[in-house]
Structure formats: C-alpha cells, structure tokens
Amino acid sequence: MTVLGIDTATPGLGVALAGPDGLIAETTIHIGLQHSQTLLPAVEWLLETVGSNTREIDGVAVTIGPGSFTAVRIGLATAKGICVAGGIPLACVSTLAASAARHAWLSFPVVPMLDAKRREVYVGLYDVSTGEPVAVEPDTVVSPHDWLENHTREALFCGDGALAYRDLITEKLGAKAHFAPPWVPLASAGVVAVLGRQKMLRGEIVEPDAATPVYLRRPQAVLP
Amino acid sequence: MIVLGIESSCDETAAAVFDTESGLRSNVIASQAEHIPFGGVVPEMASRAHTERIVPVVRQALTDAGVTLDEIRALAVTAGPGLIGSLLVGVSFAKGVAFIRRLPLVPVHHMEAHVFASRIEHPDLAPPFLALVVSGGHTQLIWVPKWGTYRVLGTTRDDAVGEAFDKVAKILGIGYPGGPLIDRLARDGNADWVKFPKAFIKGDPFAFSFSGLKTAVLMAVEKTPENELELRKADLAASFQKAAVGALVQTTLRAARKMRARRVVLGGGVASNSALRREMEAACARIGIEVTRPSPIFCTDNAAMTACAGAFWFERGRRAGYNFNPNPRLPLDAFGNE
C-alpha cells in the first residue's frame, strides 16, 4: 500500500510517498504560501521520479491543521478530490503532531509552534519518548507569552512560531529551551505519509464528505 | 460529451452535469444560510462551508444525472472573479479529481458563465447580443459579438447593484439577502413616493454607480418620522428599486443603440428581480429589441452555467495545468477570446 502524504498547513509545502518499508520519497519547498500552484506539480514530479504513477496511490494522508486556514483547505480539498474520484481512503494527521514526530525518542517533550499571526501561536505539547507523538495537552492557540507562563519544563521547540518567538522563549526558559535545527523542515509530509499509512492500516479512515480542518479559531465576523 | 461543472466563487457550493448532446443533466446548489445573521457574506465562513459541502454536492450532482465519473470527459471550474478562499476550495478539489482521473481541467470565468446561463435553456441563442450581468458582486454590460468573445462596455464605479439592494435592505431593517426581500416589499409600495437620483457618469456613458443612491435612501429614511417609517418601508423600497432598475435599463438601452444590438441577454442574481425583467422587456419591446433571460435557478450562482461554458471551451482546447491558480480579480479576457 502506497500512501501520498500532503502537508500544506505551514509556509512550507510538503509532499511524500510512503510504502511498506517506510518513506519512499519526500519533497519540501519553502517559498512561502504558493501551495495552490506547487502542490500537484510537486506530486506529479515525485511520482515520475520514483517511476510510479497515480494508479499506484492507494491512499492519501493530509495535515488537517492547525495552520493557515486557506493553506490547510488547499491540501484538504485537493485530498478530498483525489480520494473521492480515486475511490481511495483518506487519513488526517494533526499538523503539530506531525511536526513533533520528527523528533522521535527525545526524552523531554517537543513543543511545535506555528505562527498564528495576531501575536499568537498554534502550539502543542508532545511526548515523543516512545517513538510516537503523544499529545500531553490538546493543540491550542494562545499568546506565546501566556503559554510560557504555564510551561517551564525543558522542551524542544520547533516550527516557524518557535523561530518567531525564539528570544522570548530563551528569555523565559534559558538553557531548558532547545530549538530544532534549521535543516528540519516546517512541512512534515514524510511523517504524515508514514503516520497516515499506519492509521489506514488500523482502520482510522476519515470520510472525505465530512472531513473538516482543525481551525482552533472561529472566523472573524461581527454580528450587526 | 459530458462535463462536470464546479462553482464556489462566493457563498454557493454548486456542481452540475452538462451533456453537449442532451443538455443539462443535473444542477445542485447548496446555499449557505450561515451568512444571514451577519447581513452579508463572511468570506472565512464561506470558505469553511465550501470545504464541508463540496463532496456531498458533487456526489449529488453525479447521482441526479445518473452518471459516474467514468462518463465525465472534462471538469469545468470557476477560476474567478470571486472570493479567493472560496475559489480555492472548488479549484483545489477539481484539480484533485482531474489529477487522479487524468481528466482535462477547463477554467471558466464567472461572468462568462453568467452569459452562458441563458444558453442552457436556449441552445439556439446566437450572438451578437448585449449582456447585462447583475449580481451582488458584479454589474457589467458586455458586448458579445460571438460566443467566447467579450468586450466589457461598462461596469460599476462603486457598489454592485445587488450590493445596493443588500445595503438598502439593511437600512430598512428588512433582512438579508436584500434582492428578493425588496422585490417583494416593493410590490405593495408607491414607486413614486421619493424621486431618487439615477447616477450617470460624465464621459463614461455605459458606467454605473449605486453608492449615491444608497446614501439617498439612507437620508430619506432619516427624514421620515419614526412613527411613519414602518408604513413607508414599502414606498421606500419601491422608490429605490425604480431608480436602480431605471439606471440599469437606461444604460443598457444606450449601449444597445450604440452597438445596434437586436438582443439583450440578462444574467446574474439580480436578473431574477421582477421589476428589472418587466422594465427591461417593456423598454426593449418599444424599440424592437428582444430580451433573453434565464430562469431564476440559472440567475443565481450555479454550476450548470459553469459546465455549459466549460463544454464550449473544452471543445476549443482551453485547459488549465496543475499549477493553475484562481484569481479573485480575473479579467474577462484572461484566457483569450475565441
């Protein structure tokens, strides 16, 4: 079973293919939010490069948020189209869980942070000590200042929110704060493809009809 | 040749199946009622609703048409203009379907689709004609010398006419969307109760402007004694509608004379307005011009018109690649003329 992984939730675009032996191929492109133009050309290139084609895709795994609303929808709507028209299963993975999973086996928690604008971050707290990302707290959206008031343990910070608020995090946590190296990409399509494939094998499949992003924020709208 | 059309430019999630031999096979429109309390379309809410409804709507369109994707030869999708977040849901979904099924993807301009809407029920409709496309987002006079070739003669300088209906309905406190509500209320009103001004733009004979009219309604409401206002709402609605429709009809006739048009084709949500239909038909009849107008279900945003225009362009080779991106301000000639 070959699974196509898609991550469009961050300013990084990620596409990947995973099979029985794990990751087959992964591409990450960090050129800002141009996912609508780059997503399917990247998938097409990836398939061609590994000598495969669309008929060999047996399922799609996609990041479901949190992240840029529009960007998450580009990935999810594309995945819905592929799954409905291809008659193949869909699996959804939290953007933050996928980001944390890149640091498997770490003995202290991983804190994926995405810049949510408006001086807030999408943030999660994940235990990865067993090799799999396990959410210690639910993903949330909060000001980094408030989050750091309540979290003082040693942790590894990753994501563009961790970069944006690095000074604040260092100021609050000092040597207890570690940061993911710059070669760890924002997009996590490889993780998504592998985790999504595992989910499918466990039967954790989402109906494309009902699949909806994890926004964590209500739309900005004011009743008259 | 069977085309699946997908439309998500504003607050309607729509899909339709159009057959170039037998005509329209299905037409599914999911309107988003969640905007009503806000008195207007909330873009982020629209994008969210499209994401949730796109799959059920497309499935329904296929079921209603009695076809499967195996019989679909091409996908037509609205490329713009519209709300970017909304457009992206329809386009991304369509691209996913096209990609996995190796189907050609045909981008369609939303205004062009409103012009094609009349062709669904009138397959023999033949240019040249003058099209007036009027909706909550658009007010355009388009000269169509042949199918697939467009020349925009006039557009609005400020509010779209449907937007003016919405804003006046808000001023009168009668709800949203304003078009059908004002149309209904105006039937019981005296259209000559207030003489509202019709704006014409100097040096641009085919341009429209509705923002001054909206302000004039607001001033008339403020001048009306509070205890009389409830009684006068129908008169205010009728007077406003007369001025708005009058501006549309007069400018359309001026353009029709200039272009020596023999036919006017209406499109867009406001084309359902009973006063516009009546006045346009009467005025055109006086000078021997015929009027073609789609049924109301093809006036509102729908994918039948997208699929109909898409079928036309599919046969002429218009295609979009997987790198294709919708454009919220897409010009009418973006994909070239026929």
Nearest beta carbon to residue A224 from set B38, B52, B99: B38
Using pLDDT thresholds of 50, 70 and 90, give the confidence band for residue B5: very high
User: Are B101 and B213 within one domain?
Assistant: no
User: Are A154 and A111 within one domain?
Assistant: yes
Higher-confidence position of A186 and B59: B59
User: Are A17 and A85 within one domain?
Assistant: yes
B249 — contact with chain A (CB < 8 Å)?
Answer: no
User: Are A117 and A172 within one domain?
Assistant: yes
* Tokens 């973006």 -> residue: B334
- Cα A75 from Cα B92, distance rounded (Å): 8
Mean pLDDT of the residues in chain B: 96
Q: Is A215 within a domain?
A: no
Our measurement of the distance from residue A124's CA atom to the centroid of its chain's CA atoms, rounded to an integer in Å, reads 12
Question: Smallest CA–CA separation between A110 and chain B, in Å?
Answer: 30
Task: Say whether pLDDT at A208 is over 80.
Answer: yes
Q: According to the model, what pLDDT value does residue B200 have?
A: 82
pLDDT in tens, B271-324: 999 999 999 999 999 999 999 999 999 999 999 999 999 999 999 999 999 999
Q: Is A213 within a domain?
A: no
Query: What single string gives the DSSP state of each residue in B213-272?
Result: HHHHHHHHHHHS-HHHHHHHHHHHHHHHHHHHHHHHHHHHHHHHHHHT-SEEEEESGGGG
Question: Smallest CA–CA separation between A211 and chain B, in Å?
Answer: 7
Q: Is B146 within a domain?
A: yes
User: Are A119 and A69 within one domain?
Assistant: no
Name the strand (E) or helix (H) holding B177.
none
- Domain count for chain B, please give it: 2
User: Are A90 and A193 within one domain?
Assistant: yes
Nearest beta carbon to residue A219 from set B44, B69, B90: B44
pLDDT in tens, B165-215: 999 999 999 999 999 999 999 999 999 999 998 888 889 999 999 999 999
Task: Say whether pLDDT at A185 is over 90.
Answer: no
Question: Smallest CA–CA separation between B59 and chain A, in Å?
Answer: 9
User: Are B141 and B233 within one domain?
Assistant: yes
Q: According to the model, what pLDDT value does residue A186 have?
A: 83
Q: What is the CATH number of the domain that holds A11?
A: 3.30.420.40
* Tokens 């909550």 -> residue: B136
User: Are B187 and B63 within one domain?
Assistant: no
Q: Is A211 within a domain?
A: no
Q: According to the model, what pLDDT value does residue A144 have?
A: 98
- Domain count for chain A, please give it: 2
Instruction: Please state the length of chain B.
Output: 338
Task: Say whether pLDDT at B10 is over 70.
Answer: yes
User: Are B66 and B25 within one domain?
Assistant: yes
Q: According to the model, what pLDDT value does residue B338 have?
A: 77
Q: What is the CATH number of the domain that holds B199?
A: 3.30.420.40
For residue A157, the enclosing domain spans 103-179
User: Are A90 and A8 within one domain?
Assistant: yes
Task: Say whether pLDDT at A187 is over 80.
Answer: yes
Name the pairing type of β-strands A3-7 and A59-63: parallel
User: Are B111 and B163 within one domain?
Assistant: no
User: Are A7 and A82 within one domain?
Assistant: yes
Q: Is A160 within a domain?
A: yes
Q: According to the model, what pLDDT value does residue B208 have?
A: 96
User: Are B29 and B165 within one domain?
Assistant: no
pLDDT in tens, A28-45: 998 888 999 999 999 999
Q: Is A218 within a domain?
A: no
| B223: Cβ contacts below 8 Å, ≥ 6 apart | none
Confirm if B190 and B235 have CB atoms less than 8 A apart.
yes
Q: Is A59 within a domain?
A: yes
Task: Count chain A–chain B contacts defined by CB atoms under 8 A.
Answer: 113
Q: What is the DSSP secondary structure assignment for residue B149, as one 8-state letter?
A: E
Q: Taking CB atoms and an 8 Å limit, are B95 and A220 in contact across chains?
A: no
CB neighbour class for A1 (10 Å; exposed up to 12, middle 13-18, buried from 19): middle
| B318: Cβ contacts below 8 Å, ≥ 6 apart | B106, B107, B335
- Cα A218 from Cα A39, distance rounded (Å): 26
- Cα B292 from Cα A64, distance rounded (Å): 46
Question: Smallest CA–CA separation between B14 and chain A, in Å?
Answer: 15
Coil, strand or helix: which one is B312?
helix
User: Are B97 and B10 within one domain?
Assistant: yes
* Crossing angle (nearest 10°) for helices B274-286 and B226-259: 40
User: Are A112 and A87 within one domain?
Assistant: no
Q: Is A224 within a domain?
A: no
Q: Taking CB atoms and an 8 Å limit, are B37 and A86 in contact across chains?
A: no
Name the strand (E) or helix (H) holding B133.
strand B129-134
User: Are A60 and A166 within one domain?
Assistant: no
Task: Say whether pLDDT at A224 is over 70.
Answer: no
- Residues of A within 8 A of B47 (CB-CB) are 69-70, 73
Using pLDDT thresholds of 50, 70 and 90, give the confidence band for residue B48: very high
Taking residues B208-226, report their average pLDDT.
95
pLDDT in tens, A41-68: 999 999 999 999 999 999 999 999 999 9
Using pLDDT thresholds of 50, 70 and 90, give the confidence band for residue B16: very high
User: Are B107 and B182 within one domain?
Assistant: no
For residue B67, the enclosing domain spans 2-115+298-315
pLDDT in tens, B78-130: 999 999 999 999 999 999 999 999 999 999 999 999 999 999 999 999 999 99
Taking residues B3-8, report their average pLDDT.
98
Q: Taking CB atoms and an 8 Å limit, are A57 and B102 in contact across chains?
A: no
User: Are B75 and B208 within one domain?
Assistant: no
- Cα A40 from Cα B249, distance rounded (Å): 46
User: Are B171 and B184 within one domain?
Assistant: yes
CB neighbour class for A171 (10 Å; exposed up to 12, middle 13-18, buried from 19): exposed
Q: Taking CB atoms and an 8 Å limit, are A70 and B88 in contact across chains?
A: yes
Nearest beta carbon to residue B52 from set A78, A79, A212: A212
User: Are B278 and B222 within one domain?
Assistant: yes
User: Are B280 and B310 within one domain?
Assistant: no
**What counts of helices (H) and strands (E) characterise chain A?**
7, 10
